[in-house]
Amino acid sequence: MKPLLDNKQMLAIRRRLLQMHHESGVGHIGGNLSAIDVLSLLFNEYLGAQDAFILSKGHSAGALYVALWSVGKLGDEDLRMFHRDDSLLAGHPPARGIAEIMFATGSLGHGLSLAAGTALAKRLKGENGQTFCLTSDGEWQEGSTWEALIFAAHRRLTNLTILIDHNRLQGFGGTEDVASMCPLQERLKGFDVDVQAVSGHDLDAMRNVLALPSRRLRIVVLETTKGKGVSFMENRMEWHYLPLKEPHYTLALEELGLT
């Protein structure tokens, strides 16, 4: 069994995420902070050699890279190249070059189709292992995502776990204002799938949900906060875009008790 993450380790992971975004001058930090807990949990405790992970919400590539750093798959020298010329660590997950990243994603609505195909391929080949896919909540406004769910539910892909970063904000406003699919959890239940909602910032709560037995396709709605842990970023749409300049970076570290 892999050792369990603790809050001290999560603080160090959050600090490295903030540092990487500050040094690169790249935005999208808000959605990265809403996803970093579940990504760190998956890579540190769940994903084994036979498992697969697909990040559909490609804007959170930074959180994915830092989660890989936390398990030694990427080094500090790699993170320093984030978003730079000729770097493997592009603003969205790359198509090749990092073994743990199977597909280039970021054109929202494509990742779940790729994950469903991966899970079905594992079944057809008689392979063990679980496929995990992290989507944004905004992606559930896209027809391609629902088509992938129809396919996965019809095929009864019990070796697929769908995770939804439900932070309720997207590029142009709140998900309820742009094209409401709320309550998302209730809409998903109509597909004969196992749907659970849990805090996406509570490691034990996520562990408990992932440990529940299920004979159906599993969907976990992660109730998260965009910009989690940094008060001036929390639930603020502008941090979908803004780079982390020096004054804000220093203040963010102070709030997390990391100075």
Mean pLDDT to the nearest integer, 209-234:
96
pLDDT at 128 over 90: yes
- Whether 239 is covered by a domain: the verdict is no
What percentage of the chain has pLDDT greater than the value 90? 87
Residues 6+ apart with CB under 8 A from 2: 44, 45, 46
> Is residue 161 a part of any domain in this protein?
yes
Is residue 165 predicted with pLDDT exceeding 90?
yes
Residue 84 domain-assigned? yes
Report the CATH number that the domain containing residue 123 is assigned in CATH: 3.40.50.970
Contact 24, 244 (CB under 8 A): no
* pLDDT (0 to 100) of residue 141: 92
Q: Quick check: is 64 in a domain?
A: yes
If one counts the domains in the chain, the total is 1
Is the confidence at residue 172, as pLDDT, over 90? no
Is residue 20 predicted with pLDDT exceeding 80? yes
pLDDT computed for residue 180 by the predictor: 73
Task: Say if residue 176's pLDDT is above 80.
Answer: no
State which residues form the domain around 135.
7-234+245-255
Mean pLDDT for the stretch of residues 227-240: 93
State mean pLDDT over 168-186. Answer: 80
Domain assignment of residue 2, yes or no: no
The pLDDT value recorded for residue 258 is: 84
1 within a domain of the structure (yes/no): no
Tokens standing for 234? 């929390």
Q: Is residue 35 pLDDT above 80, yes or no?
A: yes
Q: Shortest CA distance to 121 belongs to which of 157, 163, 150, 162? A: 157
Mean pLDDT of 12-28: 96
Kindly report the pTM of this predicted structure. Answer: 0.95
Would you place residue 106 in the very low, low, confident or very high pLDDT band (cuts 50, 70, 90)?
Answer: confident
* Phi, psi of 133, deg, nearest 5: -135, 125
- Classify residue 55: in a domain, yes or no: yes
Does residue 220 sit in helix, strand or coil? strand
Q: In the prediction, which pLDDT does 90 show?
A: 94
User: What is the chain's mean pLDDT, rounded?
Assistant: 94
- Residue 174: Cβ within 10 Å count: 15
- Residue 129 included in any domain: yes
Per-residue model confidence as pLDDT tens digits over 199-208: 999 999 999 9
Residue 175, pLDDT score: 77
Q: Is the confidence at residue 129, as pLDDT, over 90?
A: yes
**Percent with pLDDT over 70 in the chain:** 100
Quote the pLDDT of residue 169.
Answer: 83
In this prediction, residue 182 carries a pLDDT of 84
